[in-house]
Amino acid sequence: MSGTGKERWVTETLYEADGFTCAFRADKMLYEENTAEQHLVIFENRLFGRMMALDGITQVTERDEFIYHEMMTHVPILAHGKVRRTLIIGGGDGGILREVARHKAVEKITMVEIDPAVTEFAKRHMPQVSAGAFDDPRLDLVFADGAKFVEEAGESYDVIIVDSTDPIGPGEVLFREEFYRAAKARLAPGGVIVTQNGVPFMQGAELASTVGKFRRLFRVATCYMATIPTYVGGPMAMGWGTDDESLIAVAPEVLAKRFAEVDFPARYYTPDVHKAAFALPRYVLDLVENA
């Protein structure tokens, strides 16, 4: 946090060691605490609305969260086409949960969040993100270490969405090969895992590391992209791992039919955007192909 007089700014520290920061003015501070796991701050900014940061890294903003949450969720679910069970690792703000819950054919949603404080304060100070999804009867909310959860014997899932923080602090374990291997063991046949892999222009090593590990585990290991203004430095990458080669090649007309059948409003996702998201620029292809 920084500021002059009464004006306070929340500084994005993710790239500070590399010589770059940006800052958001905290027009109104709503909450700030060192939880058992991390430093959490929730505040209001005139441009982005309510925002949440963990350990100096922006996690979610009221204005642009829909882009990230829609693309992390609808791409794997609509590519699969027959999802009944979904596992969310992380995602304490409830945005991924909200989008999964829009799919009425999903019978069970398991969500594993390591820090109860994140969920509690997001529900209290940013309820518009979850939009009541925490009350969905299909939800099984577990407060535990996501890496340990997938290592335990249990049910399998058609889609696993890893909505993690960056590989710093509590989120670091969710980028290890041991976690990906255990997660794969919890995937049902034809299942797919999707991961948050940062902005490849700024965090290329992170994406390359995940895709390299996926390549040792899955027949298909790649990523797709979406542009979220809050996550500075260019488009964001979502890692994609599956043994079902057909999921990445679903025709736009099939996606359109599936999208029409679920009948919910989307502000970013379209079937055409879905397909285009897998068309990677050369610098990202280099990271993926050389991982």
The catalytic residue positions are: 163
Based on the number of CB atoms within 10 Å of its own CB, is 32 exposed (0-12), middle (13-18) or buried (19 or more)? middle
In order of 21, 101, 185, 193, the CA distances from 152 in angstroms are 39, 25, 10, 17
Nearest partner of 49 among 101, 126, 137, judged by Cα = 126
Q: What is the distance between the alpha carbons of residues 180 and 118, in angstroms, rounded to a whole number?
A: 24
Q: What is the distance between the alpha carbons of residues 153 and 263, in angstroms, rounded to a whole number?
A: 35
Q: Which residues pair with residue 142 across a beta bridge?
A: 112
Q: What is the distance between the alpha carbons of residues 172 and 196, in angstroms, rounded to a whole number?
A: 12
**CA 243 to centroid of chain Cα atoms:** 21
Q: What angle do CA 86, 88, 94 make, to 5 degrees?
A: 115
Based on the number of CB atoms within 10 Å of its own CB, is 146 exposed (0-12), middle (13-18) or buried (19 or more)? buried
Give the per-residue SS3 of 228-240. CCCCCCCCEEEEE
